[in-house]
Chain A
Amino acid sequence: MQPILEAIDVRKAYAQHVALDGVSLAIPEGSIFGLLGPNGAGKTSLIRIITQITAADEGEIRFRGQKLNPEHIAQIGYLPEERGLYKKMKVGEQLLYLARLRGLSRADATERIKNWLTRFDIKPWAEKNVEDLSKGMQQKVQFIATVLHEPSLIILDEPFSGFDPINANLIKDEILELRQRGATIIFSTHRMESVEEMCDSIALINRSRKVLDGTVTDIRDAFKTQTYVVEGKGRLMVVHPDFEVLEHKERENGFFQDRIRLHAGTTPNDLLRYLIGNVEVHAFREQIPSINEIFIRRVRETMPETLVELEENHR
């Protein structure tokens, strides 16, 4: 299937630094795509190129195979990290204005605004100025403004920062619903754990370069370490030729929790068989690396000099 958006060797430099250095991506149509990396990695720069706020110095962006051009604006919805609305403008008028700027007709926009406001329970507020709304309601309005023109590509920069938990869940449900209807969604965030369970594919960006991309499943498979977590009761052998105990925790009354890595050629069933013969097994599960762990591992391999700042950033 043709990707909805492709970035081909995109480069962008500002006066003092290089924001994007030869970044290439392909975002599959109908997926939820995570654009992940620490603050300052270049995510927002890439997004601003996709939304045509700025242009790339080199390289090209293709939207459904076409070179990106102003006609694509109507097909892209963008929720920037910096949220904002005209404070002294009525909610209804503001949504109408933003929708018309995205190419919607007055009649279509009015109809859809009505639907969305009803859906989000803020219809009575349509005639209120934005500044009179609570923060939560403003966030809903902002989200409506992003998706009102039914874009096929929705870009959400740090989507859940600034949203309270209730609204964050509401937005998550809406996003899944939009994907159901065929929209492609890009999440851009430095908090990888907040989106990893929603994403189908991701790209990891560090220091203006892409360090890794692919589907979440593929990436996880590639970074699996054959490590299993075992919980149970009894005494476990510390040394064994087929596997290695990475971590051993003694609990009260003979309970334990171990992390065990299999050596090459050993299957989980071999380990299980061994365990059953020696201890009482309560839990047995594969330890799957989080995207954050994968990211740090990948950075350690490819650009170790940035590790320190990465950890500071994450903290």
Chain B
Amino acid sequence: MESKFWLVAQREYLTRVRKKSFLILTLLVPLLFAGFGVFIAKIASSDNEEIDVVRVLDASPDRIGSRLEATPRLQFIPLQGTLEQAKKDYRKTDDAGLLYLPPTLTAQQPQGIQLYAKGNVSLRKQSAVENALDKVLAEEKMRGAGISQEKLDALRSSVDVASINLDETGQEKSSNALATSGISYALALLIYMFIFIYGVQIMRGVGEEKSSRIMEVMLSSVKPFQLMMGKIVGIAAVGLTQFLLWGVLSWGAATLVAPLVLDKLNKDMPTATTTTAPSSTATTEGTAATTGDKNTRFDNQMGTMTTKPGGMFQVLGDLPLGTILFGFVAYFLGGYLLYGALFGAIGAAVDDQTDTQQFMFPITMPLILSYIIGVSVILRNPDGPVAFWMSMIPFTSPIAMVIRLPFGVPAWQLALSLGLLIVGFVGTVWVAARIYRVGVLMYGKKITYRELSKWMFYKG
């Protein structure tokens, strides 16, 4: 008996894996992913990593311009000559702006400073330049007031705010809400996609068997339950194979292709690599940061959304990884079995693929809802009442709970939710098997919900 189930699962697996469409999809998706990743990397780098180069024509008596300090995003290049000449030269370059410090400029009279730029100067750029100037002028004033250079150095500080998560036990964790959300989001999407794609495949598979009229031959050899479960398990194996191949190929694409693509990308961005401004140590640091970190950052973007590469690993280390992995596998399988059985039942109940719509709706509804509410409400408030109830109901828990997992879920809630999920999928599999058993041999009948409910109580 058991071996028949495996024969069925094996057939479902092999016929699908050997299809051309499987091969094409398997190759295409990682390429799309890689392309998408490069695209994101490009957007991110052009947005964040670009270094604004500001030319400085310094006519001030105290040489304030030479003391302007570069930041990772902002560099200053000192110029000589007249303002007219500087403006003319500036127009030929890609630099962000031209800063003119007039001869009248002193710390006491900070007026007449002009920032020339092509187009409008963004607020960010302007405030960055103002900050740099402020610093120099403030120092100048303090020096005028008699404060020594040593004291000035001692006063300086670089502020970096790190957010720390204080949990109930009083343990401190460095939390990165965005990275955690990213993991939640990715896990939920994975489960959602898997259930949808392969659930529909189950439905189609059953529909095909029905319309090709092979059911009766099959059922004289195999029990309907074996046939249904064999198909569900076989297709799950197809899905896992596909996801595994996607993972491996995406990783391969990321490590092999990405450096090549990014090299080219860097050549396209002269601001990031070709600036060799003199006298600024920050400049070289900045360049190194952009090229050196790019690969690691790119990898991270493939899997999840992240902000800082270093911070990412820090956050990963602090998350309950074991629980997440266990929970993900459990909800992944439980959710797939629960929905897979229902999709199978729809395939068995209807004759015509177009009739599937009316039955699809009530089944896909909780799935879609749990995803939409999951990535909005639950992600914002993973411990709220919506999150709690949705992670208890078996129809929504596979998605709702994996979203909550990275944020930390009390053990009793996890246990209760898993228990309910098991009850839920045993229940749906039972219902689906009954519908399936009657439905697969029922032709030319318009199926209603009333009819379906009667099938539950048919005898063998």
**Chain A residues whose C-beta falls within 8 Å of the C-beta of B4 in the assembled complex:** 101
Closest B residue, CB atoms, query A73: B221
Closest B residue, CB atoms, query A90: B15
Chain B 199-219: CB-based contact to A (< 8 A → 1; otherwise 0): 000000000110011111111
- Residue B119 at the chain A interface, CB threshold 8 Å: no
**Chain B residues whose C-beta falls within 8 Å of the C-beta of A51 in the assembled complex:** 219-220
- In the complex, the answer to whether A98 meets B217 with C-beta atoms within 8 Å is yes
Q: A70-B1, A89-B15, A97-B11 are in contact. Are A80 and B217 (CB under 8 A)?
A: yes
**Chain B residues whose C-beta falls within 8 Å of the C-beta of A48 in the assembled complex:** 216, 441
A101 to B10, CA, bound (A): 12
- In the complex, the answer to whether A82 meets B460 with C-beta atoms within 8 Å is no
- Residue A57 at the chain B interface, CB threshold 8 Å: yes
Helix, strand, loop or mixed for chain A's interface?
A: loop
A215 to B220, CA, bound (A): 28
Q: How far, in Å, is A156 (CB) from chain B's closest CB?
A: 13
- Residue A239 at the chain B interface, CB threshold 8 Å: no
Cβ-neighbour of B214 out of A73, A85, A100 (below 8 A): A85
- In the complex, the answer to whether B460 meets A87 with C-beta atoms within 8 Å is no
- In the complex, the answer to whether B217 meets A84 with C-beta atoms within 8 Å is yes
Query: Size of chain B's interface in residues, with CB distance under 8 A?
Result: 25
Chain B 430-448: CB-based contact to A (< 8 A → 1; otherwise 0): 0000000000010100000
- In the complex, the answer to whether B459 meets A57 with C-beta atoms within 8 Å is yes
Closest A residue, CB atoms, query B226: A101
- Residue A145 at the chain B interface, CB threshold 8 Å: yes
A52 to B11, CA, bound (A): 23
Chain A 43-61: CB-based contact to B (< 8 A → 1; otherwise 0): 0000010011111010000
A101 to B218, CA, bound (A): 8
Q: A89-B15, A101-B7 are in contact. Are A84 and B220 (CB under 8 A)?
A: no
Q: How far, in Å, is A306 (CB) from chain B's closest CB?
A: 24
A70 to B212, CA, bound (A): 25
A51 to B208, CA, bound (A): 23
- Residue B156 at the chain A interface, CB threshold 8 Å: no
Q: A86-B214, A100-B7 are in contact. Are A78 and B220 (CB under 8 A)?
A: yes
- Residue A222 at the chain B interface, CB threshold 8 Å: no
- Residue B92 at the chain A interface, CB threshold 8 Å: no
- Residue A76 at the chain B interface, CB threshold 8 Å: yes
- In the complex, the answer to whether A84 meets B215 with C-beta atoms within 8 Å is yes
A80 to B216, CA, bound (A): 7
Query: Which chain A residues numbered 80 to 119 have a C-beta less than 8 Å away from chain B?
Result: 80, 82-89, 97-98, 100-102
- Residue B245 at the chain A interface, CB threshold 8 Å: no
**Chain A residues whose C-beta falls within 8 Å of the C-beta of B459 in the assembled complex:** 55, 57
- In the complex, the answer to whether B15 meets A98 with C-beta atoms within 8 Å is no
Closest A residue, CB atoms, query B10: A97
Chain A 5-27: CB-based contact to B (< 8 A → 1; otherwise 0): 00000000001000000000000
**Chain B residues whose C-beta falls within 8 Å of the C-beta of A86 in the assembled complex:** 15, 209, 212, 214
- In the complex, the answer to whether B222 meets A54 with C-beta atoms within 8 Å is no
Cβ-neighbour of A101 out of B15, B208, B216, B221 (below 8 A): B221
- In the complex, the answer to whether A84 meets B11 with C-beta atoms within 8 Å is no
Cβ-neighbour of B220 out of A57, A73, A87, A97 (below 8 A): A73
**Chain B residues whose C-beta falls within 8 Å of the C-beta of A100 in the assembled complex:** 7
A52 to B226, CA, bound (A): 14
Cβ-neighbour of A102 out of B221, B441, B443 (below 8 A): B221
- Residue B124 at the chain A interface, CB threshold 8 Å: no
Cβ-neighbour of A85 out of B15, B212, B219 (below 8 A): B212
**Chain A residues whose C-beta falls within 8 Å of the C-beta of B8 in the assembled complex:** 101
Closest A residue, CB atoms, query B214: A84
- In the complex, the answer to whether A84 meets B219 with C-beta atoms within 8 Å is no
Best-surrounded residue of B213, B220, B443 (most CB of chain A within 10 A): B220
- In the complex, the answer to whether A53 meets B441 with C-beta atoms within 8 Å is yes
A84 to B210, CA, bound (A): 9
**Chain A residues whose C-beta falls within 8 Å of the C-beta of B221 in the assembled complex:** 73, 98, 101-102
Q: How far, in Å, is A53 (CB) from chain B's closest CB?
A: 5
7 interchain pairs, CB-CB under 8 A: A70-B1, A73-B221, A80-B216, A86-B15, A101-B8, A101-B218, A145-B217
**Lowest 5 CB-CB distances: which A-B pairs, in order?**
A84-B213, A55-B460, A84-B214, A80-B216, A51-B220
New A-B pairs, 7, CB < 8 Å, besides A53-B220, A73-B221, A80-B213: A51-B219, A57-B459, A70-B1, A85-B217, A86-B15, A87-B212, A102-B221
Interface of A toward B, CB cutoff 8 Å: 15, 48, 51-55, 57, 70, 73, 76, 78, 80, 82-89, 97-98, 100-102, 145
